[in-house]
């Protein structure tokens, strides 16, 4: 887990802010341990984290956010590539067809060139191979939230 003292100020979000004022991040990962590690790290960095256990739950949460207006929107989505029901790639393809603008970061234990190429073609902001450094993830999110992109 990343020590907050090693993360630059640009990636830090005030964790004392109410959840409604904290950037909301949707984390989809079928491994409970990995999902909790990411969620706990991001929460400590000041993000409001929503968790999904698989691709279907990810899609359901995204669809629900679209019906609730900007209050429920996500600043970013972090999704495992291989999950039950729908993969992270499947969800990205569905969202692309609907012109859904929220940036996605893909994480994978199967980070071959083909997986990276497909993720990039679908518009992933980043494709991170497991195991990855939490600092790398929080840096990417910090830049996204600050409006700096990658």
Could you report the per-residue pLDDT of 74-119, keeping only the tens digit for each? 999 999 999 988 999 999 999 999 888 889 999 999 889 999 999 9
Average pLDDT, the chain: 85
Residue 21: predicted pLDDT: 81
Enumerate domains of the chain plus CATH numbers.
18-145 (3.40.50.2300)
Confidence of residue 17 (pLDDT cuts 50, 70, 90): low
Q: How many CB atoms lie within 10 A of CB 83?
A: 23
Say how many C-beta atoms besides its own lie within 10 A of residue 132's C-beta. 14
Confidence of residue 63 (pLDDT cuts 50, 70, 90): confident
Angle at 107 between CA 101 and CA 112, to 5 degrees: 115
Is the pLDDT at 10 greater than 50, yes or no?
Answer: no
Answer with the residue of higher pLDDT: 8 or 76: 76
């Amino acid at each position: 887990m990343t020590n907050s003292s090693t993360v630059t100020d640009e990636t830090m979000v005030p964790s004392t802010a109410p959840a409604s004022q904290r950037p909301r991040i949707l984390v989809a990962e079928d491994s409970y341990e990995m999902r909790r590690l990411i969620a706990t790290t991001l929460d400590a960095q000041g993000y409001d984290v929503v968790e999904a256990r698989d691709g279907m739950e990810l899609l359901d949460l995204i669809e629900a956010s679209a019906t609730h207006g900007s209050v429920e929107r996500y600043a970013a989505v972090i999704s495992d590539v291989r999950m039950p029901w729908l993969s992270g790639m499947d969800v990205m393809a569905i969202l692309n067809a609907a012109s859904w603008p929220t940036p996605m970061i893909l994480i994978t234990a199967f980070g071959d060139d083909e997986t990276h190429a497909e993720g990039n073609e679908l518009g992933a902001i980043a494709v991170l191979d497991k195991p990855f450094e939490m600092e790398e993830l929080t840096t990417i999110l910090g830049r996204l939230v600050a409006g700096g992109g990658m």
